[in-house]
Amino acid sequence: MVARPGSDSEESTGGRDGSRNERTTRPASDARGAVVTDGGTADRREVVLVVDDEPGAADLAATYLERLLDGIETITVTSPTAALERLRERPIDCVVSDHDMPESTGLELLETVRSEIGEVPFLLFTGKGSEEIASEAISAGVTDYLQKGGADGYEMLANRVDNALSRRQAESDLREVNRKVTAIHDFATELSCVDTVEEVFERVIDVASEVLEFDRCLTARREGEYVHPAALSEGVTEDDVRRFELGEGIAGRTVAEERTFLVEEVERSPDADPVADDIESAISVPIGGYGNFQAISSGRATFDERDVEFAELVTAHAAEAMEQIETEGALRAERDRLAALFDNVPSPVARLAIDGSGARTLDATNDAFESTFGCAAGEVTYEEMCARIVPDGVDSIEPDWSDTDLDPIRTEVERRTSSGVRDFILNAIPTERDDEVLLHLVYADIDEQKRIERTLRRLHEATREMFSGEGRETVAEIATRTAIDTLGFPASGIRLYDPDSGTLRPTAISEEATAVFGERPPFGPGDGLVWDAYDRDETVVVDDLRNEETSVGYGDLRSLLVVSLGGHGVMPLGSPDPNFFDDTGVQLARVLAANVTTALDRAERTEQLRERDAALQRELDRLEKFAGVVSHDLRNPLTVASGRVELLRALIDDDADEVHEQIDRIENAHARMGELIDDLLALAREGRTVDEPEPVALADAAREAWRTVDTDGVALEVETGNATVHADPERLRTMFENLFRNSVEHGRSRDGVAVSRDDENSSSEFSNHSTSSRPTADDSVEHGSTGSRISPESDGDPDVTVTVGPLPDGFFVADDGPGFDGVDPDQAMEYGVSSADHGSGLGLAIVREISDAHGWRIAVGEGGDDADENGNESGARFEFRTDG
């Protein structure tokens, strides 16, 4: 109201150490004594009285205090009597007294000062200190106690005096804050009795002038797009204010943005243009969305953050009071509106009068209430009305309105009407009239809505039943009964399309429909309304069949409703009454049809999946049988060949090394053929889906699998802790065996040379049929806090380390061997893919089959803990995601 908007520099947080109404505050120690007022500055220096019977000692202490402390004045006296005279003559801010003086002691002077003058900071500064004197001083309540002695002693004295003065000022400030807070609280309490917004604006000016001691202040009220002056203090004239547009000037911005502004120096803002010429600083605080409060001053930096805080506290109470006044006004208007509409509202309405004791009287009822419930005010009492309209077992909802906050209640209730019990929404609206409460009970009939809700719930239950049905016929039978039992249609049926005959076959026809027109044949193209609804995929409604020409007869039916089921068929519904199917009935039939269509889709998919599963099962059975036959037919001649080789070896001389070498190669080939036969049989069996998994400890499964693999020169580290996975225990162990064997055969060293994954010609020399190197129960196992390590039986460091560890959603198996050696890691899991010349390519394929059978996701890649000399990642890593 007093300044147009300037630059952002107008908004600052600078403090002020001035006063209004001759108030004084103590500033910081580096500017003690400078007091700013609206009229300028005044020298009110803080006074320290020094008392010592030795004049030289008193002067020396005073000299040090004035030299070390800025902005203080010292007075020296040589006796307690003279000190008391000074204290009675003028305000003294602090007393520094010797203790041992001829007239009386310093503690006796302290006692007199406390009784006559009050709580003035009192420091005992004595040259003859002792523990006894110190104890007495503390007990007497001295502010501080210290001994004389050198320059350091006087510096300490100055520091203690400064602290005492600061504490006194802080205590004074705190008392002032408490005084203002208490006064503002009283102001907020008084606002509860104010009836108009205009009076609130006036009260804000009163508390700002009397409590916050602002000489010049004003309030402004928002009216549309303008801010108008509302109330002015005595120091503000009409010439100091004007109307502002919303958003214009400090006043307009305060209201528009509901934001506080603190302007320290108007002249430093080139855009500032105050209404009054003598304005140098101001604060502007919003009063909610109702207006604002401003305090102005002719001095610079007159206001500080504390002034802003108190002003905001006052305006917050004012805004709350204004909101309450407007709310109460709205309630009064609502009460008047209810009274005006009472007789004309179409809904049943009753008005109760509740006196201070809580007694209820049926004060009035409108025509709709009397016709709906059959009772009227003046004819029945409130108790009689409740007995008539509230069904047995149903509680009345009205609380003790005479002892509440008069909040409206909206709830669903059952009430007995002239036509039976129906559902209503009851709005109970309380208002005050004189010394009683008027309670308007407004009833909205929702019986039809509740009936539809109950119907939809039953439709949902029927849909769940259809979803659990075994086939399309079951779904059709459930839907047919639902149309009658839930929707209340007299006759119903389901006709499903038969692609073989190209007709709509009567799959499920209700007994009621059969009783009306007997057994019905399939309908095809040209067979009237039912086929048309299917062919056009639309809903057909006939209000009266007697007014329609139909190609087929419908017996005694007069109304017909046919709802399409998509490509599945149609749902015909009928009634012997004309105009039976209203809009609600048609919509409910469409909801049922949509649910039936979804259930038929599901049944169709389920049947397709069942047929596919059966075909897959037959294929698996054939594959397993084939693998068994192949295994048996191949293993028998292989066994015979192996036996012949043993006989042949016995016939060869021991010194025929070349012959024995060839026999060794034959035996290796036989062993390899045995491995291929085992892998083929395992591949046929491991792909079966795991139907009943159980919790399996990963660590136990890994160690059991490790014991079945030739692992000389290889170490196992298990880091899974107590982690478990839901799996088939036997197949999980088989998967671990294949992974371990893959790491061992492709990664361990022979004669100190690493065997790569493409150097598999000699893999049979480390065949998993050998048990000479398998760990036993006595093998070395190093246990840690979260895992364990199984070391190789041979001495020295392991050639390869295999690690089994956890993942957030599964587990992994990794080794630090040579990796995949040119084979794409993703392709390594395919059938027949191997980096070895004589590899079967089935080991990792079996791993993939077992993982798929469990429904796990597998990721394959390179990269263990180490890298080769060129920095390339080494090792193979298999990650299994088991969380679905």
Q: Are residues 269 and 409 in the same domain?
A: no
Distance CA 740, CA 747 (A): 10
Closest to 841 in 3D by CA, of 833, 853, 849, 852 = 833
Instruction: Point out the domain boundary residue: 144, 175, 206.
Output: 175
The position carrying tokens 């795991």 is: 690
Distance CA 287, CA 219 (A): 9
Q: Which residue has the higher pLDDT, 688 or 451?
A: 451
CATH number where 431 lies: 3.30.450.20
Q: What is the pLDDT of residue 672?
A: 67
- Is the residue at 633 inside a domain? no
Distant-in-sequence, close-in-space partners of 276: CB < 8 Å, separation ≥ 6? 2, 239, 240, 296
Query: 557-599: per-residue pLDDT in tens?
Result: 888 999 999 889 999 998 888 999 888 889 888 988 888 888 8
Q: What is the pLDDT of residue 811?
A: 94
- Is the residue at 10 inside a domain? no
CATH number where 798 lies: 3.30.565.10
Q: Are residues 703 and 849 in the same domain?
A: yes
The predicted model gives 87-107 an average pLDDT of 90
Distance CA 645, CA 651 (A): 10
Query: 161-196: per-residue pLDDT in tens?
Result: 999 888 888 888 888 888 888 888 888 888 888 889
- In 270-405 the beta strands, taken as DSSP E runs, fall at 281-287, 291-297, 349-354, 360-365
Distant-in-sequence, close-in-space partners of 290: CB < 8 Å, separation ≥ 6? 197, 221, 222, 318, 319, 322
Mean of per-residue pLDDT scores for the chain:
79
- Is the residue at 634 inside a domain? no
The predicted model gives 193-208 an average pLDDT of 91
Distances (CA, A) of 638 to 219, 395, 771, 838: 110, 90, 21, 18
Distance CA 501, CA 569 (A): 13
How many other β-carbons are positioned within 10 Å of the β-carbon of residue 861? 15
Instruction: Point out the domain boundary residue: 583, 611, 639.
Output: 611
The position carrying tokens 């364990």 is: 788
Q: What is the pLDDT of residue 229?
A: 93
Q: Are residues 470 and 540 in the same domain?
A: yes
Closest to 741 in 3D by CA, of 834, 667, 824 = 834
Residue 360 has pLDDT above 80, yes or no: yes
Distance CA 430, CA 331 (A): 10
Distant-in-sequence, close-in-space partners of 738: CB < 8 Å, separation ≥ 6? 843, 844, 846, 847
CATH number where 322 lies: 3.30.450.40
Contacts 24+ apart (CB under 8 A), 105-112: 106/51, 106/80, 107/136, 107/137, 107/140, 107/142, 108/80, 109/51, 109/80, 109/83, 109/84, 110/140, 110/141, 110/142, 111/140, 112/80, 112/84
Q: Are residues 238 and 320 in the same domain?
A: yes
Q: Are residues 467 and 383 in the same domain?
A: no
- Is the residue at 4 inside a domain? no
Per residue, the 3-state secondary structure of 448-510, as one string, reads HHHHHHHHHHHHHHHHHHHHCCCCHHHHHHHHHHHHHHCCCCCEEEEEEEECCCCEEEEEEEC
Residue 819 has pLDDT above 50, yes or no: yes
Q: How many domains does the chain have?
A: 5
Q: Are residues 532 and 470 in the same domain?
A: yes
Q: What is the pLDDT of residue 24?
A: 33
Distance CA 774, CA 80 (A): 105
Task: Give alpha helix (H) positions in 687-787.
Answer: 698-706, 729-747
Flag the least confident range among 166-170, 212-216, 335-339: 335-339
The position carrying tokens 């079951």 is: 474
SS3 294: strand
CATH number where 152 lies: 3.40.50.2300
Query: 459-505: per-residue pLDDT in tens?
Result: 888 888 888 877 888 888 888 888 888 888 888 889 999 888 999 98
- Is the residue at 777 inside a domain? yes
pLDDT bin (cut points 50, 70, 90) of residue 778 is: very low
Distances (CA, A) of 534 to 128, 248, 495, 519, 764: 118, 70, 10, 20, 69
The position carrying tokens 């084979």 is: 823
Domain carrying residue 405:
342-445
Q: What is the pLDDT of residue 248?
A: 86
Q: Are residues 50 and 153 in the same domain?
A: yes
The predicted model gives 39-46 an average pLDDT of 56
- Is the residue at 183 inside a domain? no
Q: What is the pLDDT of residue 467?
A: 82
pLDDT bin (cut points 50, 70, 90) of residue 404 is: low
Distant-in-sequence, close-in-space partners of 25: CB < 8 Å, separation ≥ 6? 17, 19, 35, 169, 173
Per residue, the 3-state secondary structure of 706-735, as one string, reads HCCCCCCCEEEEECCCCCEEEECHHHHHHH
Q: Are residues 573 and 464 in the same domain?
A: yes
Longest distance between any two alpha carbons in the chain, whole Å: 140
Distant-in-sequence, close-in-space partners of 510: CB < 8 Å, separation ≥ 6? 480, 481, 483, 484, 491, 492, 493
Q: In this structure, which amino acid lies at residue 202? A: E
Distance CA 847, CA 711 (A): 19
Residue 802 has pLDDT above 70, yes or no: yes
Distance CA 303, CA 210 (A): 16
Q: What is the pLDDT of residue 206?
A: 92
Given phi > 0 = left and psi -120 to 50 = alpha, else beta, which region is 797? beta
b/e for 581-594, b at 16 or more Cβ within 10 A?
beeebeebbebbbe
Distance CA 721, CA 247 (A): 68
Distance CA 450, CA 226 (A): 51
Q: Are residues 694 and 751 in the same domain?
A: yes
Q: What percent of the chain has pLDDT over 90?
A: 21
Query: 515-550: per-residue pLDDT in tens?
Result: 776 677 888 888 888 898 888 899 999 998 888 877
Beta-sheet pairing, 40-43 with 34-37: antiparallel
- Is the residue at 474 inside a domain? yes
Residue 379 has pLDDT above 60, yes or no: yes
Closest to 736 in 3D by CA, of 813, 794, 809 = 813
Torsion of CA 562, 565, 567, 568, to 10 degrees: -100
The position carrying tokens 């030739």 is: 710
Are residues 170 and 150 in contact, defined by beta-carbon separation less than 8 angstroms? no
Q: Are residues 566 and 437 in the same domain?
A: no
Q: Are residues 787 and 876 in the same domain?
A: yes
Q: What is the pLDDT of residue 32?
A: 40
Q: Which residue has the higher pLDDT, 401 or 729?
A: 729
Residue 392 has pLDDT above 80, yes or no: yes
Residue 167: alpha-carbon gap to chain centroid: 47
Instruction: Point out the domain boundary residue: 266, 296, 330.
Output: 330
Q: Are residues 440 and 507 in the same domain?
A: no
- Is the residue at 680 inside a domain? no
